[in-house]
Structure 1
């Protein structure tokens, strides 16, 4: 059977979304309405079999922080699904290719990013693991936390309805965005997304609350959004948990005050931390028994350059770099070939060249190194980056490195 692939029409959104909901097992009404508002119709694709949607893919227009602090236009891949009746017929490949061709033709976004429910899918399309996240279950009854003494000067204020504090939280978040690669600026409507809190997904926890850290002038210096889950074991001993949704702070004092608050909530001996940077500072504010925090990391963000030259020129480099990269990119052949990258902490250029390559790698490995998630040297040790000029791998690896780990604060 043949399928027709075309841009979505506004009148088709409900049918399109129903297909996506079916593929992912259903969405809450609140989530549906937010996605209705955020969907960019002219950037959404549907694969049709007669009058049925059998595949979907959409794009969000983001600005993402890259190393150096620039907010680079980035295509956020979303709503990717294929009906189980149409698997292994090339529908997904056609959707992914059309997306990237459309982004290239528009010429404004050198990067594409996505989160993956099934990470094994996207490597064949050139996406590499560009950021990880840290999860932990902290035994706050036994783990000691030491915060800066300046934290004592801050006032903490609880807001039971997290949505009512969104303006103050967004002001803090926007100041934090340039500080870490992978963070997304919030366009109109996106301030609502981190507040999604469908009752069906709470699993017995309270609605989302917020605590604000304020200085002596009443200025908000940080916030944490969290929920509480009360539980008791068979002996009547409290075994509940604090569920941390997100936390941002403008200075160490506010950061420490917020973590101390979360550690100190009564009758909740476990602090469940999800989606934090892998180099989050609380790891260095606790005593040495990190095992009691049960830390673990998982994939968070996948990325790929749509335009290798523009993407590499958009970021800065931690030390001077002058290297010729030979990039293999079967899925986006316009990226394949040799690129001369020259730059430092102030800026960079990346142009086509016919000179001999110093390093050879696929676009997937370039993607993994782009935000600083994985060192080029590590990829070289795995045989995935090949060195043709002695010393080129170490020099380039150091230049691509970042002093903070990349991180995606929320999905899309």
Structure 2
């Protein structure tokens, strides 16, 4: 138990691990922090099932919950394909009645201490308000793409072999095993992807409350097959519409995965060609997908990009040694970390595409940066050179910045496949 000192006048709060009999009250407090809109019963039940009680915290003022935070246990793909233990920070909220009393800071403090004790070198999150988490050492490490594609005017060129892929409809709930097998094969190929180690996570992609459809159809699914093997799938909804000139329907993509370029192209082409529709709405996709280079008119895709993953190195040495580097690197990093001081100091990182080591050193530093910048660069999607141009990384040895920036990069953009 931790007592949270108040930053302003008012009662202190008690911070403790969540108990199963407290979940309903705890979750109601979380929902109120996010506007108080009730969730559908099936969604609430799923998050209840996914709760890992020994990893979730509640802050209490008497018999009232005033703060919530949790950390799912994940395995996260890092550059090189290794799945690294990571804490998926989630459900962070503070009651509006208890703002500016140190509740959030105390939860972040306790949580990162716990993550370190659990031996997990990384913590990751998605931020409802990006300005909050930088002070706790989280850096924006990946971005997601959105598009509203005018499929009536944008055509798609596809690679050889696309016509060899057979598509068939399936009920989403009937083909979960086949879809999860495709997903699992893709997890090692892209930094940021999460291994779904609990069956309940498979159902996140199947959530389909009527209240969330905004007039669109129930969730639909199409499988891509070749030689009797499932090589991809797409889950989507269709929202029909009619204007003065005729149909004006929209396809709303929820998920799409393909094991190879032809499977992916077959699924994208299918979504383009659905009858009575002229717009394909795409959200939360990788920024380097092939379809971006297959469309006839990129301007009519109305692209936008926004932040996605935030990464925090809880153990700098273990985290940097867990990934590989796309070019040889031997660099001494001077790391500042005011919130987790065990990370502060000099670290020698030596590595290449086969592996790496990262150990304490007293040698002169080559680069100086905070743990926040290390988090931003960790998955290979944010160049250290860009952070240096922003004044957030200092080069202390000539040539060290370019060497490290190239090494930290990834040939495939990092991406979070689903929220948590």
> TM-score, normalized by length of structure 2?
0.96
After TM superposition, the structure 1 = structure 2 runs for residues 107-146 of structure 1, keeping only pairs within 5 Å, are 107=119, 109-146=120-157
Aligned to 1:45: 57
Aligned to 1:86: 98
CA distance, structure 1, for counterparts of residue 117 and residue 292 of structure 2: 44
CA distance, structure 2, for counterparts of residue 345 and residue 103 of structure 1: 28
Runs of 4+ residues over 3 Å off in structure 1: none
Cα deviation 1:340-395 (Å, max 9, x = unaligned): 00000000000011111000001111111000121001111111100110000000
Q: Does 1:237 align with 2:249?
A: no
Q: Does 1:272 align with 2:284?
A: no
Residue 343 of structure 1: which of 325, 345, 351 is its match?
351
Q: Structure 2: any 5+ residue segments left out of the alignment?
A: 1-10
CA distance, structure 2, for counterparts of residue 346 and residue 49 of structure 1: 51
Residue 46 of structure 2: which of 34, 56, 60 is its match?
34
CA drift at 1:236 = 4.7
CA distance, structure 1, for counterparts of residue 409 and residue 15 of structure 2: 40
Residue 192 of structure 2: which of 176, 179, 182 is its match?
182
Aligned to 2:292: 283
Q: Does 1:331 align with 2:331?
A: no
* Worse overlay, 23-32 or 184-193: 23-32
Aligned to 1:98: 110
* Worse overlay, 147-156 or 264-273: 147-156
Residue 21 of structure 1: which of 31, 56, 59 is its match?
31
SS of the equivalent of 2:391 reads: coil
CA distance, structure 2, for counterparts of residue 321 and residue 194 of structure 1: 39
Aligned to 1:57: 69
Residue 21 of structure 2: which of 11, 33, 48 is its match?
11
Contact 1:137–1:293 (Cα < 8 Å) also in 2: yes
Contact 1:129–1:373 (Cα < 8 Å) also in 2: no
Q: Does 1:388 align with 2:396?
A: yes
* Worse overlay, 304-313 or 7-16: 7-16
CA drift at 1:106 = 2.0
Aligned to 1:209: 220
CA drift at 1:123 = 0.6
Aligned to 2:158: 147
CA distance, structure 2, for counterparts of residue 401 and residue 207 of structure 1: 40
Aligned to 1:72: 84
Residue 321 of structure 2: which of 288, 313, 320 is its match?
313
CA distance, structure 1, for counterparts of residue 165 and residue 114 of structure 2: 49
Q: Does 1:370 align with 2:382?
A: no
CA drift at 1:149 = 2.8
Q: Does 1:224 align with 2:234?
A: yes
CA distance, structure 2, for counterparts of residue 198 and residue 96 of structure 1: 32
SS of the equivalent of 1:316 reads: coil
CA distance, structure 1, for counterparts of residue 309 and residue 218 of structure 2: 27
CA drift at 1:285 = 1.1
CA distance, structure 1, for counterparts of residue 209 and residue 342 of structure 2: 43
SS of the equivalent of 2:162 reads: helix
Cα deviation 1:123-167 (Å, max 9, x = unaligned): 1110000111000000011111011231111210012x3122111
Cα deviation 1:91-144 (Å, max 9, x = unaligned): 00000110000111222x100000111111111110000111000000011111
Q: Structure 1: any 5+ residue segments left out of the alignment?
A: none
CA distance, structure 2, for counterparts of residue 265 and residue 182 of structure 1: 31
Q: Does 1:246 align with 2:255?
A: yes
Aligned to 2:409: 401
CA drift at 1:240 = 1.3
Q: CA RMSD in A?
A: 0.8
Contact 1:63–1:72 (Cα < 8 Å) also in 2: yes
SS of the equivalent of 2:142 reads: strand
SS of the equivalent of 1:98 reads: helix
CA distance, structure 1, for counterparts of residue 379 and residue 160 of structure 2: 33
CA distance, structure 2, for counterparts of residue 44 and residue 136 of structure 1: 35
Q: Does 1:379 align with 2:387?
A: yes
Contact 1:326–1:359 (Cα < 8 Å) also in 2: yes
| Number of residue-to-residue matches in the alignment | 407
Residue 163 of structure 1: which of 165, 173, 193 is its match?
173
Cα deviation 1:78-101 (Å, max 9, x = unaligned): 110000000111100000110000
CA drift at 1:173 = 0.2
CA distance, structure 2, for counterparts of residue 106 and residue 246 of structure 1: 32
